[in-house]
Structure 1
Amino acid sequence: MDQITQWVTENRDLIISYTVSFIVAIVIIIVGLIVANNVVRLMSRAMHRKEMDGAVISFLSAIVKAVIFIAALLMALSQVGVQTTSFIAILGAAGLAIALSLQSSLANMASGVLIIIFRPFRAGEYVDAGGVSGTIQEVNIFQTIMKTPDNKVVFVPNAQITSKPTINYSREDTRRIDLVIGVSYSADLLKTKEVLMEVVQADSRVLPEPGINIQVNELADSSVNFIVRPWVAVNDYWPTRWDLLREIKLALDKNGISIPFPQRDVHVYKQ
């Protein structure tokens, strides 16, 4: 007992120094946990306000919390005299190895986060993304789930979507129908335009604004091509397009305006 007391007396300053360092290290870890929780809470609120996917919020929150805690732990170890350089090197090497082995998965994950943050499309919208056309069902960390018009479910990697242009057909309330109608060179162009306008105006789904555009667009090899461009609501696009094509054909036939087949003139010369 006397020897212990003597050792404590002789090393009192050292003991006090290590005790203070140990207490400071514990305080650093506690403060790190508090900071991590507060940062994660604020970040989660911000992402919820942006209506981000819950899986992405949980994933990002876990990463941020782990990074802050590891930083606080390294600071605490350094405070008690532990050399953290080797730990940092090991963590860096491990992180690099994991990143290389999961390169494609990490690319899909990063792309999924970007998709959810910038929201080029939402669930229920019809898009052309990553070379696939369909209705968005779900966007998760690694892939986007789409359903095609023929009821196929397609799982598209997120990296494939962000690397190609995305066309969103549902984002705006209205959409223009683009039709090309070819008639014979012998047809009365003014009469043809009048017939086309009557057919389009007779459809109640066609919007009055921004207006109907019907013009002669091309003098092609076998026909005079009209463009017919009415505007409709997004949900009326395909039914209106199909109905207009049918009614235009019937109206042209009724007025004796023919839609020619591709043709070639053959000239025969006798020697």
Structure 2
Amino acid sequence: MNLNPNQLTDYANTFITVLIDYSPKIISAFLILFVGLYVIRLINRFIRKLMIKRDLDPTLTKFLADILLWVLRVLLFVTFISNLGIETSSFVAILGAMGLAVGLSLQGSLSNFAGGMLIILFKPFKVNDTIEAQGVTGTVSEIQIFVTKLITANNQTIFIPNGSLSNGNIINYSLQKIRRADLTIAISYDTDIKKVKEIITAIFKNNPKVLQTPAPVVSVKNLTDSAIQLAVRPWATNEDFWDVYADTLESCKLAFDAAGIVTQPYVRESTKDNS
């Protein structure tokens, strides 16, 4: 196809005319886009500070702020394309159809979103709580829209989908202020039980991190073929729990050695003691 100079001139003039006619819309649309993004950031910061000032739960603050951020971005995008001259009604219809298709293909993500909402509403745990769920234990670092972020004791980061997390069993170790250590010490049948109980009771009294209310317990848990199993159960605050756990075992071993008491290897029984 051969174009003569007159046709090229006509096309160029038409392009320039259209560009001039639409340039105000294009400029205003991009101006609205850039200003809108800046305003959204300011609104998001203001809302976060306001919720923090009102002493709202940090988990709820971040979750609501993230949702607000994406809602404002969607509204800004619709305003942007509207100023470009694109019919928003047809766009919304297309967006709705796309949303349905995406929703069907991302059912897992929607389940995680719903799970996040349930966690925020019912608060089985919050940020900085130590929980056990889905076979892992860690401190809650962040509750995001789709996943919950845990930091383990050895500083590993674990992301658990909110859908499975909200539908599974959750052990919250931080919900109560104090916690009991459930230890089992096995001694031989030749050992004086009362003497062992006196030694362990003295260890509890000499450890300032062991709470005396509720009172720590030392009792016979089970009589096996090879040993007498003692249930050793001191109470401690959440902050001191692992110190009490380790100190009790170490102090018992040292005290038993000094008293000539022989401990037996402990074999865990299949039946759990939940008392």
- Per the shorter chain, which TM-score range? 0.5 to 0.7
How far the C-alpha of 1:253 sits from its partner, in A, is 1.4
* Greater C-alpha Rg: 1
Q: Structure 2: how far apart are the matches of 1:58 and 1:255? A: 62
Distance 1:49 1:243 in 2: 38
Q: How does 1:33-72 map to 2 (within 5 A)?
A: 51=57, 52-57=60-65, 59=67
- In structure 2, the residue matched to 1:221 is 225
Instruction: Tell me how far apart the structure 1 counterparts of residues 165 and 114 of structure 2 sit (CA, whole Å).
Output: 12
What is the 5 A alignment of 1:242-253? 242-253=246-257
Aligned counterpart, 2:122: 118
Q: Secondary structure at the match of 1:114?
A: helix
Of residues 95-104 and 138-147 in structure 1, the stretch that sits farther from structure 2 once superposed is 95-104
Alignment of 1:1-271 (within 5 A): 51=57, 52-57=60-65, 59=67, 95-261=99-265
Cα separation, 1, equivalents of 2:66 and 2:207: 50
- Which secondary structure does the structure 1 equivalent of 2:264 belong to? coil
Are the equivalent residues in 2 in contact too, given 1:130–1:163 (CA < 8 A)? no
Number of residue-to-residue matches in the alignment: 204
Q: Answer whether contact 1:214 1:226 (CA < 8 A) is retained.
A: yes
- Partners of 2:187 and 2:264 within 8 A in 1: yes
Distance 1:226 1:133 in 2: 27
Cα distance change on mapping 1:101 and 1:130 into 2, 3 Å: same
Q: 2:163 and 2:94 mapped to 1: Cα distance?
A: 29
Q: 1:228 and 1:94 mapped to 2: Cα distance?
A: 61
For 1:53, what is the secondary structure of its paired residue?
helix
Determine if contact 2:188/2:263 at 8 Å carries over to the other structure. yes
Deviations 1:67-106 (A, max 9, x none): xxxxxxxxxxxxxxxxx9xxx9988765542321111111
With normalisation by structure 2, the TM-score equals: 0.64
Q: Deviations over 1:3-45 (max 9, x none)?
A: xxxxxxxxxxxxxxxxxxxxxxxxxxxxxxxxxxxxxxxxx99
CA RMSD of aligned residues (A): 3.2
Q: TM-score, normalization: structure 1?
A: 0.65
Distance 2:264 2:66 in 1: 62
Deviations 1:124-161 (A, max 9, x none): 11111232211111001011111111111112111121
Structure 2 runs not aligned, ≥5 long: 1-47, 75-88, 268-275
- Label 1:234 to 1:261 Cα distance change in 2 as closer, same or farther (>3 A): closer
Tell me the percent identity: 37
Q: Retained in 2: the 8 A contact 1:222–1:262?
A: no
